[in-house]
Amino acid sequence: MKTFILILMLCILTTVSYGQDFQEVLESDKLVVIDFWASWCRYCKLLDPIIERLVTFNQWYNKDKIEWIKVDVDKDRKFLRNFRPLRGLPVIMFYQNGKEVYRFIGFQPFLTIQSRISLLLKVERKEKKEKKDCEGGVCPPPE
């Protein structure tokens, strides 16, 4: 069974096998960020320190809200069959509640990726707040 690297917010590298474990990660309440890369890809190498900075930055501001996954496309070919075709590298995919919500193709600067993460986390928080406000069978009127 293939494995890939899961980067936790505490910057600890852990391996998770594709299958049941991965589906549980994708369907969790957390934002899941998947970085598809290859060792021969020049832009993937340029993106690597940016991903590391994003993990460190979000460790402080969004702790326990994001799961980071790195997938080597050369080693994990079976894994790739379950995603839409990748049209280039690097690719960063964002998942919430088991569904892809956004995708970057190609090199992206730190602020572009972080802005998307912040936006996705803000949308998630707003949806949770709206659900909470409608408890008891009565929802307040829209503003």
Q: Tell me the pLDDT band of 55, cut-offs 50, 70 and 90.
A: very high
66, 114 contact by CB (below 8 A)? no
CA 34/CA 37 separation, integer angstroms: 10
Instruction: State which H helix or E strand residue 69 sits in.
Output: strand 66-72
Average pLDDT value for residue range 70-96: 83
> Which architecture, in CATH terms, is 3-135?
3-Layer(aba) Sandwich (3.40)
Which pTM does this prediction carry? 0.74
Average pLDDT value for residue range 33-49: 94
pLDDT of residue 113 exceeding 50, the answer is: yes
- Ranges 2-6, 85-89, 133-137, most confident: 85-89
CA 12/CA 43 separation, integer angstroms: 24
Q: Tell me the pLDDT band of 44, cut-offs 50, 70 and 90.
A: very high
Active-site option among 11, 41, 134, 139: 41
Active site residue 11: no
Active site residue 41: yes
Q: Does 82 or 40 have the greater pLDDT score? A: 40
Domain boundaries, the chain: 3-135
Q: Does 33 or 142 have the greater pLDDT score? A: 33
Active-site option among 11, 44, 134, 139: 44
pLDDT of residue 90 exceeding 90, the answer is: yes
